[in-house]
Amino acid sequence: MDTTQLIIWIGDWMPVLWVFAFGACVGSLLNVLAYRLPLGLDCVTPSSRCPSCDTKLTWRENIPIFGWLMLCGKCRFCRSKISPQYPIVEAFVAFLWAGTYALWFVLPSYGQGPFGIHWASVKPEWTRLGVLHVWPIMLVFFSLFSCLVAMTLTDLKSFTIPLVLPWFATAFGVVTHTAFAVYVGLSGKDLAPLRGTEWPWSLATPAVQVGDVAAGLTTLSSWWWIGASIGGTVGIGVGLLLLRFKLIGRSFEDYQAWEEAEIAKQQADAAVGTGQSTVEQPAADPTELWIAYPHARREMVKELAFLAPCGVLAWFGGQWMVGLPTRGADITTTTGVAIETAIMPPLWLNVLSGVLLGYLVGGGIVWLVRILGSIGFRKEAMGLGDVHLLAAVGACVGWIDSILTFFTAAFVGLIGTVLAMVVASAAGRKGGPQRTLPFGPSLAIACGIVVLFKPLFEAGLTRLLHAELPVNLP
């Protein structure tokens, strides 16, 4: 390698180091969020302190990864141990950001890598113009990955997902995707060449460009789905207003009172020496008590009432949009065939509806399983945190990826359960893991697998469908 090549190589990889450092800082923030949010603490103030001696930490102790290493895992002031979770999370997020950036923007787009895999096949098509042109979309993925890490940490610790985390990812996805689409539209740029297919964005959108009308092909657009996505989102807002003005009840609103009464009942049973309990698993683990709540079916009626405006307005929105003049005039192509062209929506509306559709489909598929499972098994099947998590995934990466994530998560959860049983058996515990495993971490891991290894899913679908042409998912 000569000097010129070395300089070019360093120039290509220097941004990776910057992304690594920034990712480590984000990982440090995620540690704070995972610790404070479940406790209801402010995430900004007070500043970081040692949990043992309550001494305010200086900037030297707060250096991501290296701060813990320099302190040898002990507080500088009281010498108490510091959890290794902090550097592990910081390093994981740093490598996740840097590895994704290198895979998408640094590694060559030609030639073969390990195992004969072409580099171009593992990169999303929207990355082909380079990071300087598509960095807003990259930030959407990085923010989603970061929120998923924080949600995984809180779900594993407390069996809850602070809703501010999926809400932030959702809001960031909606705003960034739409704003970037507005910029692209105003600047006259087009992201369609990035994919080399009919999809005009990095996620699936309702309207697609099939081909050149003059060549005998036509344009297709699904105005019904555009109207349905907007109407469904408005319906979610209507449901929130109904809750706000107490026109419908919140689900599991009486759970706190039931839990207190149930705990008091268990204590009374223990006091008289019966050793019996009115719940199936009266362990101290609050998640087991939550599962034992006997009115899950009744609460699903309240959630169906909340979702009713979403379904109704989605249907009316689709019907209203189809009623608009969304078709162009018939034209005769060079082949002499008369075809009717569809009026394509503006790019920003197409992208916005794609984001909203991803949000509704992602959240809807988990909510459907939650409702059906709770009715069938008479206990809460999935938490609402899982609903918000997959809805955020859909808002950032689209409805196709959210569906793939859900089904992949089932396999991830199965593998996790088997591993937990193996660990429990090795530790001498009978009956498998000591508590029910949360589903949120499985969804988060599955999302990363789908986003980073989508070519494997495309190859699998091509084989499964016996398609003549390779399946290319947006």
How many Å apart are CA 254 and CA 377, to the nearest integer? 20
How many Å apart are CA 230 and CA 228, to the nearest integer? 5
What digits encode the pLDDT tens for the residues 294-308? 888 999 999 999 999
What digits encode the pLDDT tens for the residues 374-421? 999 888 888 899 999 999 999 999 999 999 999 999 999 999 888 888
Question: How far is the CA of 449 from the CAs of 104, 213, 371, 412, 473, in angstroms?
Answer: 15, 38, 27, 10, 15
Q: What is the pLDDT of residue 219?
A: 59
Long-range contacts for 452-456 (Cβ within 8 Å, ≥24 apart)?
A: 452/100, 452/103, 453/122, 454/124, 454/401, 455/121, 455/122
Question: How far is the CA of 191 from the CAs of 14, 50, 185, 372, in angstroms?
Answer: 27, 49, 10, 40
Half-sphere exposure of residue 219: CA atoms within 13 angstroms, side-chain side:
22
**pLDDT mean over 452-457:** 86
Residue with tokens 């223990």: 270
pLDDT winner (highest mean) among 91-100, 428-437, 448-457: 91-100
Q: What is the pLDDT of residue 257?
A: 85
How many Å apart are CA 32 and CA 53, to the nearest integer? 18
How many Å apart are CA 201 and CA 177, to the nearest integer? 9
Long-range contacts for 84-88 (Cβ within 8 Å, ≥24 apart)?
A: 85/31, 85/153, 86/28, 86/31
Q: What is the pLDDT of residue 302?
A: 94
Could you tell me which residues are beta bridge partners of residue 332? 338
Whether the model clears a pTM of 0.85, i.e. scores above it, the answer is yes
What digits encode the pLDDT tens for the residues 184-204? 888 877 666 555 455 678 899
What digits encode the pLDDT tens for the residues 273-291? 655 544 444 444 566 777 7
Residue from 205, 209, 232, 218 nearest 320 by CA:
232
Contact 255, 293 (CB under 8 A): yes
Residues 6+ apart with CB under 8 A from 161: 151, 154, 155, 383, 385, 386, 388, 389, 440
How many Å apart are CA 303 and CA 296, to the nearest integer? 11
SS3 sequence, 315-358? HHHHHHHHCCCCEEEEEECCCCCEEEEECCCCHHHHHHHHHHHH
